[in-house]
Amino acid sequence: MKELIIHFSPQATNAYVMARRGKSLAVVEVLRVGEESAFRQLLQRHRLKKGRAVIEDLSTVVKGIQIPDLHEDEVESFVKNNINEYFVLDPQEYLVDYRVTTRSRKTKDMHLLLSAEKKTKIQEIRSFFEHYRIGIEQITVMPDILQRALCCFPAKSVALLRVIGNTARIHIQRDQNLFLHTAFEFEMKDGAISESTLENISYYLSFYSRQYFGEVIEALVLQVEKRYELPLKEALQRIHENPVIVLPPVETKGLGILLLPEETWLHGMKRDGEKELNFGLSRGDQLKNRRQGTLRRMALSYTLFTLVLVLLFGFWRGYLGSLYSVTAPGAAGEKLSQVESELSELKKEESLLLGQAEILTKIQGESLPVVEDLEALKKALPQGVFLESASFTPEGIQAQFQLSPTGTRTLDALRLIAAINETQQFLPIGVDTLYLNEQQESLQLLLQKAGAAPEGLSPETPN
């Protein structure tokens, strides 16, 4: 399977065709995008219809944060509601996305990599893909890819120094979570690294140590142009006590050349199945893709399980038949009858599993309107009201809501009905048909999808 990776940087736009084998990637072809015809030929040669984009730009803003352990659907709301605490940015100019980097059940918290990118830059990349009629799989940023590339290191803390031209970027992470990512000017004088450059590097390494009570970064990784590699390594060994490492080159397949040292970021293009940082898809599209992927995997698992059952018990029956053909007729007949009875039960279970697999296969491409209805319902709930249970019937959603324990239950019920009506997802609920009092702890409603024929309201039953 081949993938297209396009790297957008101030220096150039480079296209990489990569072959994926399981979790490993090998570069098949590299092209500096210049002439339109050459790039179109590359797309045709490898039959590429979609691709992933990586932005490397000084306008990119990233931050690592720690938050309470939340459900996947709740993380987006948390980020949206608290974004001003992490970024001082104009929401009209920037888009914000995130990726969960680690999650701890022990401490009940999680770490996120937050990223903000200019909308104009995202639109430029969208226009590029549209011009060449390529589908967008992902638009991510270089700090995200560097973090993924460093996750293979066994060290607790890692600092990566990336130098292209006269710009240096330092990326520090601890326990696979971002600590710091920033850029500064890089200078060389008379073949040696300038004092100001070394002072900047030393400052950020010392800043980490101050934050973690004298802890020294365990590994320092270089991802720099070849001309900078030796002088940087010698200079850093004078100011840093732990090893200075150069990342191994990315595997190439049939190229006959080695990629440049600064291209080792491609190690970070591996996928781990988790939610990706992606400015190319809306959050709803990402969740939909993940649901469909889960359903696809479930259907495949059921099918494989059924096939294995059929093969195993077919072999078992043949083996037992041959075994009992040479024993006493009475005992053999008894045993064989028992085996056939068990096999009959297993075949019934097989039929049930095949039916479930067929259902899952049919629904994997659907948009799951029930989930959308529940999301709309959840967002509409006023403060103090909770969705206690929901069951789905041909008439609609039979929902039971828990009202506030305070003395405002009647008012809470009215607010709830008004909020549901405002969503316009369901047929309007009439207040005049409801029985409400302050002793009522819950409210039961039949919510019919907008556009459906009215079936009437379900009476409320006080608890």
Per-residue confidence band for 367, with pLDDT thresholds at 50, 70 and 90: very low
Which residue would you say has higher pLDDT here, 447 or 367?
447
- Mean pLDDT confidence for 224-249: 90
Asked whether 241 and 258 are in contact (CB, 8 A), the reply is no
Mean pLDDT within 398-405: 80
SS (H, E, C) 252-310: ECCCCCCCCHHHHHHHHHCCCCCCCCCCCCCHHHHHHHHHHHHHHHHHHHHHHHHHHHH
Beta bridge partners of 244: 220
Query: Cα angle vertex 430, ends 428, 431, to 5°?
Result: 135
Q: Which of 68-77, 182-191, 261-270, 443-452 has the lowest mean pLDDT?
A: 443-452
**What's the start-to-end Cα distance of the chain, in Å?**
59
70-93 mean pLDDT = 88
What is the pTM assigned to this prediction? 0.63
Neighbouring CB atoms inside 10 A of 234's CB total: 12
Q: How many CB atoms lie within 10 A of CB 445?
A: 21
Alpha helices in 114-225 (DSSP H): 119-131, 142-150, 195-211
Return the pLDDT at 361.
61
Distance CA 434, CA 436 (A): 6
120 residue type, one letter? T
Least confident of 125-139, 266-280, 330-344: 330-344
What is the mean predicted confidence (pLDDT) over 435-453? 73
Question: Is the predicted pLDDT of residue 441 greater than 80, yes or no?
Answer: no
Question: Residue 347 — very low, low, confident or very high, per pLDDT cuts 50/70/90?
Answer: confident
State the average pLDDT over residues 366-382.
66
Q: What tens digit of pLDDT does each residue of 84-124 get?
A: 889 988 889 999 999 999 999 888 999 999 999 999 999 99
- pLDDT at 349 > cutoff 90: no
- In this prediction, residue 393 carries a pLDDT of 72
Phi, psi of 304 (to 5 degrees): -65, -40
pLDDT at 360: 58
In this predicted structure, the answer to whether residue 324 has a pLDDT above a threshold of 80 is no
- The highest-confidence range among 330-334, 377-381, 410-414, by mean pLDDT, is 410-414
Name residues whose C-beta falls within 8 Å of residue 179's C-beta, 6 or more positions apart in sequence: 64, 157, 172, 173, 208, 211
Query: Is the per-residue pLDDT at 331 higher than 60?
Result: no
User: What's residue 305's pLDDT?
Assistant: 74
Tell me what pLDDT residue 296 has. Answer: 57
pLDDT band at 297 (very low <50, low <70, confident <90, very high): low
- pLDDT value of residue 109: 94
pLDDT at 366 over 50: no
> Binning pLDDT at 50, 70 and 90, where does residue 446 land?
confident
**Over residues 446-457, mean pLDDT:** 64
Question: In the numeric block, which tokens belong to residue 83?
Answer: 């974004």
Q: What is the pLDDT of residues 114-172, one digit of tens each?
A: 999 999 999 999 999 999 999 999 999 999 999 999 887 888 999 999 999 999 999 99
Q: Which helix (H) or strand (E) holds 331?
A: helix 329-363
What is residue 91's predicted lDDT score, i.e. its pLDDT? 86
Compute the C-alpha angle 165/7/132, nearest 5°: 135
